[in-house]
Chains A and B, each alone.
Chain A
Amino acid sequence: MCWGTPAVVVDIDENGMIAKVDFGDGIVHEVFIGIANERISKGDIVIVHAGVIISKFTYEGFVEHIEFLKEVLGEDLQQYINMYNTLLSLAKLVKGGKDE
């Protein structure tokens, strides 16, 4: 049961219990925040599983992901440079979205 769907947080209740999220169709759903409240704020892109927020995308997470790809693929980094750049822009996008 690992089906997870990305969504954007549009609001959070004052107790930090329930967040309002949009899965991209403009309809707002109420979901439980199943992880530390401090990790979630308006504008975050989160992963929702069966009505529970279980994680969120972060700049650091994407950067670590790039490092992992580099490590596994090994030496011929130059040929993958476009991919790394795309990933890095994605990481910046995740970070930038909230603070802009």
Chain B
Amino acid sequence: MSRELEHFYRVVEGVEKIFRLNNELARIIVQNIEKVMGKLVEKYGNDLKIKIMNFCGTHEWTVTHFGLRSLVPKNIELIAGPGCPVCVTPSHYIEEVLRLALDGVVVYTYGDTYRLRTVKPVKEVRSLSEARSLGALVKVVTSLAEAIEDSKKHGKDSIFIGIGFETVASGYAKAILSKAIPRNLKLLSLVKLTPPAMKYTLDIHRQELPVKGVIAPGHVSTIIGAKAWQKVSEEFKIPIVVSGFEPIDVMFSILEILKQLSEDRYRVVNEYKRAVTWSGDEVAQRMINEVFDVVDDAWRGIGFIPESGLRLKSRFRIFDAFEEFKIRELGKNEWVYDLSPGCRCADIILGKALPTNCPLFMKVCTPSTPVGPCMVSIEGTCSIWAKHGGMIAIEIAKDLGIDKG
């Protein structure tokens, strides 16, 4: 084994030991959470409900997979937010790509998008996987780099479906700026921006029970920096904690939110210090600004959110799939609700409903036969709840007599 690999194993094992498999620390954090909650209940009464939103699909995975809802007091409601780019990519663009796929264009896509179902069929086809079964050249890749390498080999007209958040944008920008993309491959930028979506979601909750704290996306923040959440925290007067993805990270972030609430403070705190800095990566931010324009963009089932998407600037049009393949942009006036009848994915994405509130969940919509986008993506709340049990940890805790209710 190489020295690098051996060193890598030791570090990864160390991280897991401290942030994942650390019962002692978990117990201490739980005790601290209970202590601070005690103070809050004393101040605001027993009926106090504190709604904390995790923005990111990977945080929802951590919360559900590790049963964290069973470890927090019953006054805390942990809800999932819109942090799943596959879930929020409008059906329209997938329909446009289906048309190209059926016309012989080679399509490169991430695995989740491959199974995404459209609302309207294109020549009776509703997903890229169905198109492939009819002979279309649809290739599943894990990165743009893989698509570049493969498309160079065959030289045919090709498209890469560039979904994602800020995390992928700098990689796409680098590929464009360094002219690494061959002439036959075009990028369909469907990148979405997270702070505008967070503001939109928090605003919706203001009308009911407002969100009192946010667990902000750690890996998005490696690029945009913890500073990116400052304005949101100030506007909504709530604590925002940029968090890592291990269970100890998330529990720590919940504790920090409660501490701020108990002291009537609100500020942005970076918990994920081992990977995120306050300013983020300034080179990455510059590359993104150089290559992309910020546009008002449509979110599936939700509609347009101002300044929430990225498209290639016109001077990079030779790389742009919209230009090359005459892909129609979705106009604000023509956007229509793009989820299947009965599917409550939009409400689930906005944290207004739980997967178990959806009439289709685990009846007709399952991980092997997904109807809505939230059941397709590994970061979709429905898929996570289907695989890891949603509230089941609370029921198990009750059975064992160790629940917090």
Contacts and interface: CB of A to CB of B under 8 A. Distances in A.
A8 B5 contact: yes
Nearest to A87: B18
Interface string B153-183: 0000000000111011011001100101000
Contacts of B259: 72
Looking at chain A's contact residues, is the secondary structure mostly helix, strand, loop, or mixed?
mixed
B9 interface: yes
B interface, size bucket: 35 or more
Given A51-B146, A65-B273, A83 B8 contact: no
- Residue of B14, B245, B276 contacting most chain A CB atoms (<10 Å): B14
Interface in A58-89: 58, 61-62, 64-65, 67-69, 72-74, 79-80, 83, 86-87, 89
B167 A43 contact: no
Contacts of B372: none
B11 A1 contact: no
- Chain A interface residue count: which class? 35 or more
A45 B312 CA distance: 31
A29 B146 CA distance: 9
Contacts of A29: 142
Given A2-B59, A15-B178, A32-B144, A22 B4 contact: yes
Query: Which among B12, B59, B144, B220 has the highest number of chain A CB atoms within 10 Å?
Result: B12
Contacts of B29: 73
Contacts of B255: 72
B283 interface: yes
A90 B18 contact: yes
Interface of A: 1-4, 6-10, 15, 17-18, 22, 24, 26, 29-37, 39, 42-43, 45, 47, 49-52, 54-58, 61-62, 64-65, 67-69, 72-74, 79-80, 83, 86-87, 89-90, 93-94, 97, 100
Given A24-B5, A42-B4, A55-B275, 8 more contacts: A6-B8, A32-B143, A35-B284, A45-B12, A47-B275, A61-B273, A80-B28, A93-B11
24 contacts: A1-B57, A2-B83, A2-B218, A4-B167, A9-B4, A10-B2, A15-B178, A17-B175, A22-B4, A24-B12, A32-B174, A35-B222, A36-B281, A42-B4, A50-B143, A51-B146, A54-B167, A54-B223, A55-B219, A57-B11, A65-B273, A67-B273, A93-B7, A97-B11
